[in-house]
Amino acid sequence: MLSRLKNVLLVLAIAIPFIILGTFFYLYLGLPNVTGLKIKNPKTTALIDQRIREAQRSHESYRVRQYWVAFETIPTLLKDIVRISEDAGFYQHHGIDFTELKEAIKKNWEKRKYVRGGSTLTQQLAKNLYLSTEKRIFRKIKEYFIAKRLEANLSKDRIFCLYLNVIEMGPGIFGVQAASRYYFNKNVSELDLEEMIRLAAVIPRPLIIDPRGDHRWLQWKTRWILDTLKKYEYINELEYRSEIVKFQ
């Protein structure tokens, strides 16, 4: 019996490294070629295709709203708001924010459930472009490698531009231009401070939160963003006081 157990352990000791290595190469070799994204905008994304399939399965009508705009057209303040609320260290990390990831793991462990993602803008872009919303370990591993590939081939501004143009911001609404037109009937370049904050606030919960509403979670998120903008001097005291009353 002891001899059989030793043999099993020996086989496992030999096999496991090969299994891990084989899985690594399987995932790595299946990664998309992202170099074309340097100059070309994708015609669709994995997330858009997923939402279309979901609507078809439930026999629901589904319209995709998505309009590409140049990075320079998007207000700098909106970029700052999205960055500080979703990935404050975006211009410092290389695709993965290990400090934020560590905090997310700690928070999830304390709560005994998934309450914090820890994904960077680059990881979110990788998921939206090529993967799915499923919370599976292999998907997270592929997301990691795609994020690293995006960072190796594209500039930070290009990654951010793609993100802002494809991020899901409501049912059938993708990108800040489509969201601006749908929710506020204006182009993204025409948004005021309140509208920018409201749009950025819904990014974590785009299918259940309307930026025009007064949902309790939306009120909390918009106030947090406004406080953060004031704390790091993106807005002054006068701007803060004029806006805070709108989020109560």
pLDDT tens profile 110-139 = 555 444 457 999 999 999 999 988 777 778
What is the predicted pLDDT for the residue at 132?
83
Pairing relationship of beta strands 65-66 and 173-174 according to DSSP bridges: parallel
Q: Alpha-carbon distance 63 to 55, whole Å?
A: 10
What is the predicted pLDDT for the residue at 247?
81
Cβ–Cβ < 8 Å for 34, 132: no
What is the predicted pLDDT for the residue at 98?
74
Query: 93 pLDDT exceeds 60?
Result: yes
What is the predicted pLDDT for the residue at 112?
53
Q: What is the mean pLDDT of residues 163-168?
A: 98
Distances (CA, A) of 45 to 42, 140, 163, 220, 229: 7, 17, 11, 31, 31
What is the predicted pLDDT for the residue at 32?
92
Q: What is the mean pLDDT of residues 201-220?
A: 95
Q: Alpha-carbon distance 69 to 48, whole Å?
A: 18
CATH 1.10.3810.10 residue window(s) in the chain? 91-166
**pLDDT confidence band for 5 (50 / 70 / 90):** low
Query: 22 pLDDT exceeds 50?
Result: no
Question: The whole model's pTM is what?
Answer: 0.85
**pLDDT confidence band for 140 (50 / 70 / 90):** confident
**pLDDT confidence band for 10 (50 / 70 / 90):** low
pLDDT tens profile 37-64? 999 999 999 999 999 999 999 999 999 9
Cβ–Cβ < 8 Å for 52, 63: no
* Mean residue pLDDT across the chain: 86
Q: What is the mean pLDDT of residues 140-162?
A: 95
DSSP 8-state code for residue 203: T
Query: 142 pLDDT exceeds 50?
Result: yes
Q: What's 91-166's CATH class? A: mainly alpha
